Structure 1
């Protein structure tokens, strides 16, 4: 909404920094070089953003952790200046919020909205807020206060749109569009590589023009080779009316003539050398003028059905260079069919890694301490080189700050040639790696310096391994090479390994090349006696990385979460042997947020950071990212201290350790350890097994024909299974099930898959019918009603969620082996068991007629459900009594089932993310306070109780309980206090070893402090 109030001042941004408290957080001045007041770690992690924002015309950047979220800039008053300023800053891609001051007016803008074209008749940006009076900053812009930025609250309530028009997303979309058009125009099949080379080379030239490296003189020098070419570049092309950029580049004019275009390519190949201009002569035979016109239209943003690409807006001297590696997502696979490409990506386990993840991985492993050693960094499956580019950039930033001067050509080549190593099985992807590294190197050189080197004949190094041994061949990137067939001696010492190697076995339908690579991998593991489970490449690459590393070397890889969560015998063997040879430093679990980072790759993933040395008594830091609105809206890597667990003296080879510490806490671990000494469900089971499997249909039905079939979608917890729900079986099956007892007689049926509403569905059945292998059948030795009551209880949900390695939001299920480990009380005949049984019988027998137009005498569905919920609550209490759980243990179970599980599936609107106090309702915090005071009662005097004051601060983002001893009989007063926050911070500051500002408290998420006089 616009709110325009007259004001004349040119210093409104300074008021914003103060009144919205950005100065208390990570607010940085943009800069073109490292400054002594910027610490080494900050420069390493934020330096690239600070220099890019400087080129884009920003004034300051505000970071949340290392993620650039808010940009501050100034421009002239005119709408034209405002649009041009926005379009430049849009090219930064990652930041989400822009505070733009224009001659005394302030606009708050969403940087993920579309850039504005010069031919747009409306020519106006959409503002989130517009402010024209300085005195209204604190009030009108409260939603954008630092507290609300850091907590992510600013992104709630639909204030921002989606991010599909953000620069990085748009670049990928535009490249896909032009690739599709080139394929339609005939560059498909074996010629598809020429389309890829043409697009990549054109991006390189656009970059060189934006950086003023390719000047008019360079083009004119090439043009003098043939009459008429000079006229082409001196006169606008017929399509130049579509040039909405402010560059007015010459390259599009060159594209009007095929011979001129390839003369330019050959000149660039000679002057820059490197590996980005291979096979130019052969390519020239297949590329026609119509293909060059499509590239020309890409540059003018006038290609495709809608003729509305954003390519005109990309400022390649600003746009993050790692976005060039986005070409990988579209170009890695040689097929021109979209569905075939997706299938091949899944088979090969290859997916484009977002820059934010690559930056995060490198920030954990390539630290200042490691950079001091001048490490050699390897990516064993480098793809488009995104990890190697970021490694190179960190090395340059480190040396740049240490030297306090820019690095020269030879210093950059020394880093590139001696410290960067890659292995890539796909030749085209390897060339993109070289291409990306060349861009990264040129990025750190001034245009006059580059032109001088061209004149002096200094060319870019050849990085791809060619076997040639000369000064300019560094043989750093092993191309068309399988990491499992490469001789370690060919690499030399490797200090650090990073990357995102393939996940998941390719399956039987994979193409021949992928299967052959898989066989090489499996043979290598076998010959080295390295166990891996399920033919999983992630596990193999962890072994291979261990093998490549020198002693004391460090590795950080993105891998399948199955490395930690799967519990097959072979995977357990892998964990036991591999973890006994390394020191596991950190694990970051991205399972809950994976869809924000890998489009189409639904497999859960983790980042594993280890050192090639013994674990000893070193703890493992285990972080688990959770879906929060801020992450969804910014796609930043965000963790709070509440997401961290320290694994000390826990069995890290056990998959249950990783599961219970994902959403559980230390106290859950203690509870589960206590339960581990209990009797197991398997002790009370006579027969067990899954139903029949259709599979390969190799067997006749045989005796299975005696049983009608219940579809899994008809399987429910309550109600009778009527004959009209059953169908006759036909055809063949892979297996029938272990025996007839699975389908007849009294038995408990348990659905393998997790329902997002009921979670666990099981029933006690007497009727004979068959089920498929998505349902387990258990023949209970004795007292099946008590067992059913336990399975229906919150305890079963709690235990199975905390321990099942397959219940991880990816085809969620509970395996039979996991179900059979459910703890069961020794005595199922004591009085408490009778209560459980009586409630189970009531629930099983309760199936009243539901009200509808045909049954007006029926009961409303809401009332039926309410009655069941009442009995289910009673059943929980009866089961808790049966197990003799303490009050604390009951609270753990309730919290998991009422807060954690709903948040797991509905992270943006479940009770776990609702305000603790809303509309004056303090019932939730009253419950919390009651539980807390019960815990403390044993430590107080007989005449004392705990009471509390409640304080709200940090712009409503934080709640503080201040507990104190009081006399018995004192009433609660939990009325929130809003003016005492500074007092609370002062009290916390006196208590903690190191005082914390509001910013750090908001970022950490939780702080505990106990005063000396408590």
Structure 2
């Protein structure tokens, strides 16, 4: 064995990484399609010796985490170059360089540094750790403990090192920022010269995008090298166009030479890769090309000298899917106001990958499949589909290398896209052609490849709702994409909906896409990313009609609700998203729908993957899918919450009905809006402010007076809401409460408030219920927008909330409580107790309410700083144990008794061990011995791996059944060890026992 192989082996042993748990190297023969594909790429581009992959819950290696490279001596230049290339390739966030006497760990989110003035390399850039190697294996293991497999798989490493990994310096983010800057400059330069406004905004964008897209492609071709150092272009290629030119940036010094180069490449490669935009050569000036040249050389003055890192990019290593995202960025950026171009507009790759896994997984033999994206944009879904198909073809056929003809045949036979935007189609063609290049040796690209013409053959500039189009003349196996989210139907879509008598709410064109996809994919599978508001949560009549018709026509197998990731996925998200996988229904629909609601960890992992816990998964019985509340309740709660919501509904009457029956007037306040309406009636009246609204502390003389005269809406028919006595309900929350007050004086307020005018005593009763935890809980579990899309409730959700019937005694008590607690600034728990009595809630139901507010609401509002993510204390663990034992005893009968020992320390996981107890009294104990816990965790991990059930560290949330013991392993976070978690665990253990019993007795 070579010395460096021994060196690597000892590191792998210390990290507990092996072929069976995600490690991959050249000697591993049992690889998945993705492992084989990715390792080949990493070997070619970085020359690494091994890659460690994070596995999913099923044990399939999915996400590259660590690159390993062994060197027999310290070489500053080689180490710096390896880190530069690893940063460019992105993917794995860590690079381990193993030397004979030390281990260097680099952070691949940190960019490399330019060379020093003396030409030497700065190897400190990206350095994460420098660890001296020792011969003692246990001592070595202790030194590497923070990188141990268990720390990586559980996510504890990322939690502990959150501040050391900066997303903003990752290759994709910096590259996008750089391209935004040069795009903005070129657009403004052209606009400034166009004094007569002869070039419209769209053409100007197309020209700039064409020039930049072409330049990225040329840089990619120029920097692609093989093992001998040969590039795509022959020697002295650029000198043909400009004397002495050695590279593309040299040619940019002369406009005529530049466009001669473009023309030759267009002729050479055929296809749609290099076509010039109309009037481009007349519009682009030498100054534009000079600015582009300086940008590519890193000498531009743009964006506070940010461009100095441009020479550090290597298009030989940058992933092809990132380049596709660049083109998607061009497509989505605002066309008319470059100053407003901020935020993330491209579809994150891990979102594309997750959806593609549902319909075209990496593994499995290659079979030709026709795949259509009906709103293809830049082609990011099509590029990912093509990569997978080619990788499967290579895996199936095992050739020495794949040739241009095979790549073209796969493309022509399998990949199809439609878009109503002409530029989108052109950009998609760019992206797909680049994807083809990624599988070829550089010189093969030049000597043998002619890109296929995709426009009009595979990519179609059409409205998806047009009839008798070329793209309709095929039977598709997969339709996948992200349709537009606009509430505006195209003329063709309107005609289609009308002629086919289809249901669509709020003119949501994405809903129209779901119907049309079923028409052209009658035997295949469809996967769309849709707005979750319209698909799941909107309860308007038309939205309900759409859902009913959709579920009746289609066999929906999977719904992935990404709503909780709204601000994580997109900085300027238009709305929360949902992934839907369905087929045209046959006679036998599946009994349940797999409903998944992933939640962010609020660590850097959220930018790379969706961690799906068992608590984020449920199977919705088909008979429940027409219940509009099921999707919301299953997002934040469980079956017991569903029961409690139904209990609240059964024990109360919608507030709307109570208001109507008591002749009360209710409406939102005025709206300034466009200020087209004049109203003097409000002048001089006390005015409430949403930011300073504080129940019990409003006095007319202390409030500011209305001075505005111009409004959009003045509530003409319901002005009584501004007259006393009136209940004022703030529609947004504060802390963990909704705020309400009853005023005995006239006052005005805007549409952030709901006002109710009526009997003062009843208003105080309603105010008391609204101020309670019960009201908050009901909103958490049922509200259409709060905790999904907005931080405020809508009027409909407030007045649809069930309220207990206001008896005389209840109203008397509420009036007293209002004066004592709300006006008197007393303890709100007294209000809570009043509400619990009115709803006749049982102790366990009150505990469910407490948990929803203390953990679900707190998690949503405080995110990574939530107490839900903190370690549980002893009291919480004991309450969990007692609750678990009580629920199980109630379920299984008094003749069963359990003792519970909880292993708890600083480790990322906690273990609860349930043993059948010979005594009738449940016992609880707490074990804080870290060594014993570590031994037990690894014992369970080995057992699961041997059973091919995945890793305990990856799954993080598992139950293992032995003869008389049940092991419950969950993350070391409070949200997994509260009362609600105990109920869920007990219910699921009971279900497991019943399933096992039925299996033994069938």
The match for 2:585 among 610, 613, 620 is 613
Whether 1:876 aligns to 2:850 is no
Q: Return the offset for 1:890.
A: 1.4
Whether 1:460 aligns to 2:451 is yes
Q: Return the offset for 1:988.
A: 6.4
Q: Kindly tell me: are residues 119 and 820 of structure 1, through their superposed partners in 2, closer, same or farther at Cα, counting changes over 3 Å?
A: same
Q: Report what 1:38 is aligned to.
A: 31
Q: What is the aligned length?
A: 926
The match for 2:146 among 135, 143, 148 is 143
CA-to-aligned-CA distance 1:317-336 (integer Å, 9 cap, x gap) = 32110111233354226866
Gapped regions of structure 2 (runs ≥ 5): 57-61, 193-198, 967-1002
For the residues of structure 2 that align with 1:52 and 1:752, how far apart are their CA atoms? 53
Whether 1:482 aligns to 2:426 is no
Is the CA contact 2:594–2:620 (under 8 Å) kept in the aligned structure 1?
A: yes
Q: Report what 1:856 is aligned to.
A: none
The match for 2:212 among 199, 202, 207 is 199
Q: Report what 2:46 is aligned to.
A: 56
Q: Return the offset for 1:671.
A: 2.0
For the residues of structure 1 that align with 2:117 and 2:144, how far apart are their CA atoms? 30
Q: Return the offset for 1:419.
A: 1.1
For the residues of structure 1 that align with 2:334 and 2:283, how far apart are their CA atoms? 18
Q: Report what 1:865 is aligned to.
A: none
Q: Report what 1:128 is aligned to.
A: 128
The match for 1:210 among 206, 219, 223 is 223
Is the CA contact 1:29–1:50 (under 8 Å) kept in the aligned structure 2?
A: no
User: What secondary structure, in the 3-state scheme, does the structure 1 residue paired with 2:405 have?
Assistant: helix
Whether 1:603 aligns to 2:584 is no
Q: Return the offset for 1:822.
A: 1.9
Is the CA contact 1:991–1:1010 (under 8 Å) kept in the aligned structure 2?
A: no
Between 1:615-624 and 1:575-584, the stretch displaced more is 615-624
Q: Return the offset for 1:905.
A: 1.5
Q: Report what 2:618 is aligned to.
A: 645
Matches within 5 A, 1:463-612: 463-465=454-456, 475-479=457-461, 481-487=462-468, 490-491=471-472, 492-505=474-487, 518-612=490-584
Is the CA contact 2:737–2:773 (under 8 Å) kept in the aligned structure 1?
A: no
Q: Report what 2:398 is aligned to.
A: 404
Q: Return the offset for 1:418.
A: 1.9
User: What secondary structure, in the 3-state scheme, does the structure 2 residue paired with 1:407 have?
Assistant: coil
User: What secondary structure, in the 3-state scheme, does the structure 2 residue paired with 1:587 have?
Assistant: strand
For the residues of structure 1 that align with 2:706 and 2:907, how far apart are their CA atoms? 63
Whether 1:904 aligns to 2:904 is no
Whether 1:326 aligns to 2:325 is yes
CA-to-aligned-CA distance 1:380-433 (integer Å, 9 cap, x gap) = 111111111111111111111010123322221111112111112222222111
Whether 1:769 aligns to 2:769 is no
Whether 1:924 aligns to 2:924 is no
Matches within 5 A, 1:483-882: 483-487=464-468, 490-491=471-472, 492-505=474-487, 518-614=490-586, 616-631=589-604, 634-680=607-653, 681-685=655-659, 686=662, 687=664, 688-697=666-675, 699-701=677-679, 708-728=686-706, 730-733=708-711, 734-736=713-715, 738-755=717-734, 757-779=735-757, 783-826=762-805, 828-829=807-808, 838-847=816-825, 868=826, 871-882=827-838
Is the CA contact 2:685–2:705 (under 8 Å) kept in the aligned structure 1?
A: no
Q: Report what 2:316 is aligned to.
A: 317
For the residues of structure 2 that align with 1:802 and 1:574, how far apart are their CA atoms? 22
Q: Kindly tell me: are residues 907 and 421 of structure 1, through their superposed partners in 2, closer, same or farther at Cα, counting changes over 3 Å?
A: same
User: What secondary structure, in the 3-state scheme, does the structure 2 residue paired with 1:264 have?
Assistant: helix
CA-to-aligned-CA distance 1:586-621 (integer Å, 9 cap, x gap) = 122222222232232252112122122257343111
Matches within 5 A, 1:66-465: 66-75=62-71, 76-119=73-116, 123-125=122-124, 126-134=126-134, 135=136, 136-157=139-160, 158-186=162-190, 189=199, 190-212=203-225, 215=231, 218=234, 220=236, 223=239, 229=242, 231-233=243-245, 250-279=247-276, 282-305=279-302, 306=305, 308-332=307-331, 337-339=336-338, 342=341, 351-367=345-361, 373-405=367-399, 406-453=401-448, 459-465=450-456
For the residues of structure 1 that align with 2:224 and 2:835, how far apart are their CA atoms? 71
Is the CA contact 2:768–2:814 (under 8 Å) kept in the aligned structure 1?
A: yes
Is the CA contact 1:187–1:195 (under 8 Å) kept in the aligned structure 2?
A: no
Q: Kindly tell me: are residues 912 and 265 of structure 1, through their superposed partners in 2, closer, same or farther at Cα, counting changes over 3 Å?
A: same
For the residues of structure 1 that align with 2:745 and 2:544, how far apart are their CA atoms? 39
Is the CA contact 1:20–1:146 (under 8 Å) kept in the aligned structure 2?
A: yes
The match for 2:928 among 976, 982, 985 is 976
User: What secondary structure, in the 3-state scheme, does the structure 1 residue paired with 2:253 have?
Assistant: coil
Q: Kindly tell me: are residues 576 and 351 of structure 1, through their superposed partners in 2, closer, same or farther at Cα, counting changes over 3 Å?
A: farther
Is the CA contact 1:587–1:606 (under 8 Å) kept in the aligned structure 2?
A: yes
Q: Return the offset for 1:277.
A: 1.5
Q: Return the offset for 1:993.
A: 12
For the residues of structure 2 that align with 1:444 and 1:795, how far apart are their CA atoms? 59
Is the CA contact 1:274–1:461 (under 8 Å) kept in the aligned structure 2?
A: yes
The match for 2:850 among 884, 889, 894 is 894
For the residues of structure 1 that align with 2:448 and 2:219, how far apart are their CA atoms? 20
Q: Kindly tell me: are residues 170 and 123 of structure 1, through their superposed partners in 2, closer, same or farther at Cα, counting changes over 3 Å?
A: same
Q: Kindly tell me: are residues 159 and 107 of structure 1, through their superposed partners in 2, closer, same or farther at Cα, counting changes over 3 Å?
A: farther
Q: Kindly tell me: are residues 368 and 172 of structure 1, through their superposed partners in 2, closer, same or farther at Cα, counting changes over 3 Å?
A: closer
Gapped regions of structure 1 (runs ≥ 5): 1-7, 234-248, 466-474, 507-516, 848-867
Is the CA contact 2:153–2:953 (under 8 Å) kept in the aligned structure 1?
A: no
Is the CA contact 1:552–1:611 (under 8 Å) kept in the aligned structure 2?
A: yes
Is the CA contact 1:272–1:460 (under 8 Å) kept in the aligned structure 2?
A: yes
For the residues of structure 1 that align with 2:865 and 2:736, how far apart are their CA atoms? 17
Q: Kindly tell me: are residues 972 and 808 of structure 1, through their superposed partners in 2, closer, same or farther at Cα, counting changes over 3 Å?
A: closer
Q: Return the offset for 1:958.
A: 3.2
Q: Kindly tell me: are residues 334 and 441 of structure 1, through their superposed partners in 2, closer, same or farther at Cα, counting changes over 3 Å?
A: same
Q: Return the offset for 1:191.
A: 4.2
CA-to-aligned-CA distance 1:676-720 (integer Å, 9 cap, x gap) = 333322332132222233344455537656954323333223323
CA-to-aligned-CA distance 1:924-981 (integer Å, 9 cap, x gap) = 2122223223324446887996542112489443333435436477874324243434
Q: Return the offset for 1:434.
A: 0.5
For the residues of structure 2 that align with 1:293 and 1:939, how far apart are their CA atoms? 77
Normalised to the residue count of structure 1, the TM-score between the two structures is 0.84
Q: Report what 2:59 is aligned to.
A: none
Between 1:561-570 and 1:608-617, the stretch displaced more is 608-617
Q: Kindly tell me: are residues 982 and 195 of structure 1, through their superposed partners in 2, closer, same or farther at Cα, counting changes over 3 Å?
A: closer
Aligned CA RMSD, in angstroms, stands at 3.4
Between 1:16-25 and 1:317-326, the stretch displaced more is 16-25
